[in-house]
């Protein structure tokens, strides 16, 4: 069974310093094309995915919740009996009108971006007040018993506050966090020196984060963190979930659909030392631009 990741557009009410979509958005702007799909285009892609056999869909962007047709997209997916994941910055998700829609959808979960305490988060999103809006939405979603997963993009800006994010999650009632190492594309490429840390710099903060998560009974995983960076907690490497097979297909805005599980491996690299590691057959390595830079 495969999941389908539908990027409905690149418009967003945040402007995160690490956002990877900037390059794709810039290409559309240069070609004088819309950076967002129409409702009809979204429905067409959803129908194609259903015909291909998917039961799982991720609605993402940009920011999906700023669209006027967001309720229509939710209702369409629910009517088709799809398992829905909404990936969002969360700022608008807690509105009463939307909450009333979620209550009627059983199979829905939310992956919400939170990148630090208030000052750090707002600096990264470049929007004052975004932290409070996101936290308020998370609280409202938890109140109606919806599954919320925090998605934290690790950076030089927030790496010293990673342990603090676990405490924030606990206070918000969130029980699962995904920490992701940044892909140096888009805004992260433009802000590379400000955003991209080395694994050596990160290690102390990752170890402390793991300790606090265990103490507070918060489940965590790490994306794009190799086994050798967290040797005492290798079970937390997020890519392990892909070993069971299945596909993760994605359609960028006005581009061809691709298999993310394959593309992801193609844009990663390993060093010569990696070939001598016992885990090389299951380790994906690091983002290629990281290997080139460091």
Q: What is the pLDDT of residues 137-186, one digit of tens each?
A: 999 999 999 999 999 999 999 999 999 999 999 999 999 999 999 999 99
pLDDT for the residue 231: 96
Q: Is residue 276 classed exposed, middle or buried when 0-12, 13-18 and 19+ CB atoms within 10 A define those classes?
A: exposed
Q: What is the pLDDT of residue 261?
A: 87
Q: pLDDT per residue over 201-217, tens digit each?
A: 999 999 999 999 999 99
pLDDT of residue 242: 86
For residue 201, how far is the Cα from the chain centroid?
Answer: 22
Report d(CA 18, CA 227) in Å as an integer: 23
CA–CA gap between residue 50 and residue 44 (Å, rounded): 10
| pLDDT (0 to 100) of residue 2 | 81
- What is the chain written as a DSSP string? --EEEEE-BS--S---TT-TTHHHHHHHHHTT--SB--HHHHHHHHHHHHHTT--EEEEESS-GGGSTTHHHHHHHHHHTT-EEEEEE--TTTT-HHHHHHHTT-SSEEEEEE--SSHHHHHHHHT-TTHHHHHHHHHHHHHHTT-EEEEEEE--TTTGGGHHHHHHHHHHHT--EEEEEPPPSSTHHHHTHHHH---HHHHHHHHHHHHHHHHHHT-EEEEES--GGGSTT-GGGBGGGGGGG---EEEE-TTS-EEEHHHHHHHTEE--GGGGGSTTTTT---EEHHHHHH-
Mean pLDDT of the chain: 96
Look at residue 230 and tell me whether its pLDDT is greater than 60.
yes
Instruction: Report residue 34's pLDDT band, with 50, 70 and 90 as the boundaries.
Output: very high
* Cα–Cα distance list, 151 to 81, 105, 161, 182 (Å): 25, 22, 14, 12
In degrees, to the nearest 5, what angle opens at C-alpha 242 toward C-alphas 79 and 22? Answer: 75
For the cut 60, the answer to whether the pLDDT of residue 1 exceeds it is no
Residue 117 near residue 161 (C-beta atoms within 8 A) = yes
The model's pLDDT over 46-92, given as tens digits with 9 standing for 90+, comes to 999 999 999 999 999 999 999 999 999 999 999 999 999 999 999 99
Band the pLDDT of 240: cuts 50, 70, 90: very high
Residue 35 has pLDDT above 80, yes or no: yes
């Amino acid at each position: 069974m495969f999941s389908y990741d539908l990027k409905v557009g690149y418009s967003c009410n945040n402007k995160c310093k690490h956002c990877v979509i900037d390059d794709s958005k810039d290409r559309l702007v240069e070609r004088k094309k819309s950076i967002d799909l129409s409702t009809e285009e979204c429905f067409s892609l959803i129908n194609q995915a259903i015909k291909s056999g998917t039961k799982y869909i991720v609605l993402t962007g940009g920011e999906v919740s700023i669209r006027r047709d967001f309720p229509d997209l939710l209702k369409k997916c629910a009517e088709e009996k799809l398992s829905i994941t909404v990936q969002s910055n969360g700022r608008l998700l807690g509105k009463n009108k939307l909450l009333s829609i979620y209550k009627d959808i059983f199979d829905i979960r939310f992956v919400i971006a939170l990148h630090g305490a208030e000052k750090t988060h707002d600096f990264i999103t470049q929007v004052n007040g975004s932290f409070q809006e996101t936290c308020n939405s998370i609280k409202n979603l938890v109140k109606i018993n919806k599954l919320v997963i925090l998605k934290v993009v690790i950076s030089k800006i927030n790496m010293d506050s990673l342990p603090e994010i676990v405490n924030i999650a606990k206070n918000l009632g969130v029980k699962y966090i995904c920490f992701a190492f940044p892909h140096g594309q888009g805004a992260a490429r433009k802000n590379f020196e400000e955003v991209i840390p080395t694994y050596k710099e990160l290690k102390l903060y990752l170890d402390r984060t793991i300790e606090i998560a265990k103490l507070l009974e918060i489940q965590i995983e790490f994306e794009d963190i190799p086994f050798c960076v967290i040797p005492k907690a290798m079970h937390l490497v997020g890519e392990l979930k892909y070993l069971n097979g299945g596909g993760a297909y994605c359609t960028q805005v006005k581009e061809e659909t691709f298999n993310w599980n394959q593309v992801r491996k193609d844009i990663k690299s390993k060093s010569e030392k990696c070939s001598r590691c016992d885990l090389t057959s299951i380790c994906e390595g690091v983002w290629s631009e990281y290997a080139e830079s460091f």
